[in-house]
Amino acid sequence: MAKTLFDKVWDSHVVRSVKDGPDVFFIDRHFIHEVTSPVAFLGLESRGNSVVYPERTFATADHNTPTINQHLPVADPLSANQLDALENNAAKYGISHWGLGDKNNGIVHVVGPENGITLPGATIVCGDSHTSTHGAFGAIAFGIGTSEVEMVLSTQCIMQPKPKSMRINVNGKLGLGVTPKDVALYIISQQTTSGATGYFVEYAGDVFEDMTMEGRMTVCNLSIEMGARGGMIAPDAKTFEYLKGRSQTPKGADWDKAMNYWETLYTDEGASFDAEFNYDAADIEPMITYGTNPGMGIGVTKSIPNAEAVEGGVETYKKSLGYMSFNEGDAMIGKQIDFVFLGSCTNGRIEDFRAFCSIVKGRKKADNVTAWLVPGSHKVVDQIKAEGLDKIIDDAGFVLREPGCSACLAMNDDKIPAGKLSVSTSNRNFEGRQGPGSRTLLASPLVAAASAVEGKVTDPRTLLV
């Protein structure tokens, strides 16, 4: 019977199916970080359990870490306590740990792929909803809660009902200045913030085939923002090229064996999905959000829709615009901004820094803008330096910070102050997400760069030649 990519990977990880219940689902790779794992270890110990397969779990510190002066002790005692807990738990159970300052340290969804831990056909979970990122490699990857982190540590399984399947096809060629982030924000604006709830998405079509691995990661990363548990893209030559030779990928005969399996990972002709959508690349322009969920996005040249024109309740919509201090019908272009954030598991990779630099090169940061440029990992920092991007950043009046989740969720000191407006390459524009009272416009690195040099929301196409 014709099977989808998702079916192939899911079905091969079912240990057993519980009658009128979930599947017992085996997890190949498990990432943990300092915020959602400490209580899981406490639970494990209170039950007298241990970590059954420590070699399948990988720890990195990212959520609450500072992005300056990482060589100094972490000043916030609560954050320091969580970082210590992660380090101690990892040491106690023999889990590899990339703590603050480690050359492999960085955001969990950046370091997993760049070290070859993320593999096609694998099942990957982490106590973080953006685990969907790893689906770019043809893995089934999704976020879990702390109870499930404990399940994976103590049994290497979780109990999950199989989600429904959805395919989203985007065909055609993307226009000038249209990036993977724009493709994702466009899809989410069409699906709304909850349109894919209950589904696992496969992305297919020219647009994704043409994308780099970094771009595919950005798209899969944002799957959760339309409610999907995860998103995935069939692995191809680009995927294998990216993975080959990375520190933890299979080597020699194991690589060949893995390749034999990976080459079977595609959706069979005639396989059916529970839902399918088609979009045209030509309809997508650089995007920006105007509200308090990622589904509230429009082309950067457009105006904020009227409440009657959008799905959902009018009161919720008006509450959202009220929080943003925006009005129906406002143009987004030209809105004065205060902050720019380049980074996060969505847009903290080398390609994102290249895109940002393509605009700021030879220009200057606007005086009214505070900009935080936060690479996703130390490897990204190294690459930025190797390519000389640090010089462009410096010449344009920006400062490169140290890796971490930073202002995406503002658990560390990188908080946007109340009322301030930020153009952010991260993934969520929820109320207060970037700091209490902060206002967030989600956009691509190109829109962020153009806005950073102009000091207001700017269409990057006006600065690209």
Partner 1 sequence: MAYDKFNVLTSTAYPLPTENVDTDQIIPARFLKATERKDFDINFFRDWRFNQDGTPKADFPLNKEIYAGSKILVGGRNFGSGSSREHAAWSVYDFGLRCVISSAFADIFKNNCLNVGVLPVQVSPEFADTLFAAIMADPKTEIKVDLPNQTVTLVATGESESFEINSYKKDNMLNGFDDIDYLKNIENEIAAFAETRPF
Rounded to the nearest whole angstrom, what is the least distance from the CB of residue 179 to partner 1 in the complex?
Answer: 23
- Per CB under 8 A, contacts with partner 1 among 207-266 are 224, 227, 229, 250, 254, 257-258, 261
- Per CB under 8 A, contacts with partner 1 among 411-450 are 411, 418, 428, 430-433, 436-437
Distance CA 420, CA 336 (A): 10
Pick the binder of partner 1 from 7, 114, 150, 414 (CB under 8 A). 150
- Residue 90: Cβ-neighbour burial (10 angstroms; 0-12, 13-18, 19+): buried
Rounded to the nearest whole angstrom, what is the least distance from the CB of residue 145 to partner 1 in the complex?
Answer: 4
Rounded to the nearest whole angstrom, what is the least distance from the CB of residue 234 to partner 1 in the complex?
Answer: 18
Rounded to the nearest whole angstrom, what is the least distance from the CB of residue 402 to partner 1 in the complex?
Answer: 19
Closer of 164 and 363 to partner 1 (Cβ): 164
Q: Which stretch binds partner 1 (CB under 8 A): 72-80, 268-276, 348-356, 376-384?
A: 72-80
Closer of 122 and 350 to partner 1 (Cβ): 122
Containing H/E element for 41?
helix 38-46
Rounded to the nearest whole angstrom, what is the least distance from the CB of residue 117 to partner 1 in the complex?
Answer: 10
Q: Is 275 in the site for partner 1 (CB under 8 A)?
A: no
Angstrom distances, CA of residue 272 to CA of 92, 110, 264: 46, 32, 17
Q: Is the dihedral of CA 65, 346, 9, 23 positive or negative?
A: positive
DSSP state for residue 203 in the 8-state scheme: E
- Per CB under 8 A, contacts with partner 1 among 7-66 are 15-16, 18-22, 24, 26, 28, 35-36, 38-39, 42-43, 46-47, 49, 52-53, 63-64
Pick the binder of partner 1 from 105, 133, 156, 424 (CB under 8 A). 156
Angle between helices 350-360 and 213-221 (to 10 degrees): 100
Q: Which stretch binds partner 1 (CB under 8 A): 125-133, 180-188, 279-287, 369-377?
A: 125-133
Closer of 258 and 332 to partner 1 (Cβ): 258
Distance CA 110, CA 92 (A): 25
Count of residues that bind partner 1 according to CB under 8 A? 80
Closer of 122 and 446 to partner 1 (Cβ): 122
- Per CB under 8 A, contacts with partner 1 among 355-414 are 409-411
DSSP H helical segments within 337-388, as ranges?
344-347, 350-360, 378-386
Closer of 218 and 293 to partner 1 (Cβ): 293
Structure tokens at 50: 């241990």
Q: Which residue carries 């923002």 as its tokens?
A: 225
Closer of 27 and 373 to partner 1 (Cβ): 27
Rounded to the nearest whole angstrom, what is the least distance from the CB of residue 437 to partner 1 in the complex?
Answer: 7
- Per CB under 8 A, contacts with partner 1 among 127-146 are 127-129, 143-146
Cα 8 to the center of its chain, rounded Å: 24
> 271-295 as b/e, with b when 16 or more CB fall inside 10 Å?
bebeeebebebeebbbbbbbbbbbb
Closer of 147 and 368 to partner 1 (Cβ): 147
Pick the binder of partner 1 from 70, 104, 155, 171 (CB under 8 A). 155
- Per CB under 8 A, contacts with partner 1 among 180-199 are 193-194, 197-198
Pick the binder of partner 1 from 269, 308, 315, 367 (CB under 8 A). 315
Closer of 194 and 303 to partner 1 (Cβ): 194
DSSP code per residue over 223-277: GGGGT-SEEE----HHHHHHHTT-TTS--THHHHHHHHHHTT-SPPTT---SEEE
Pick the binder of partner 1 from 67, 105, 293, 424 (CB under 8 A). 293
Angstrom distances, CA of residue 165 to CA of 7, 196, 294, 455, 462: 9, 9, 22, 42, 39
Q: Which stretch binds partner 1 (CB under 8 A): 104-112, 311-319, 355-363, 383-391?
A: 311-319
Closer of 175 and 250 to partner 1 (Cβ): 250
Closer of 146 and 358 to partner 1 (Cβ): 146
Q: Which residues, other chains included, contact 286 with Cβ-Cβ below 8 Å and sequence gap of 6+?
A: 177, 178, 179, 182, 299, 300, 443, 444, 446, 447, 459, 460, 461
Closer of 190 and 358 to partner 1 (Cβ): 190
Amino acid of residue 60: T
Q: How many CB atoms lie within 10 A of CB 382?
A: 13
Q: Which of 456, 464, 410 is nearest to 437 (CA)?
A: 410
Rounded to the nearest whole angstrom, what is the least distance from the CB of residue 229 to partner 1 in the complex?
Answer: 5
Angstrom distances, CA of residue 353 to CA of 67, 132, 343, 350, 440: 16, 22, 9, 5, 20
Rounded to the nearest whole angstrom, what is the least distance from the CB of residue 360 to partner 1 in the complex?
Answer: 29
CA atoms within 13 A on the CB side of 44: 22
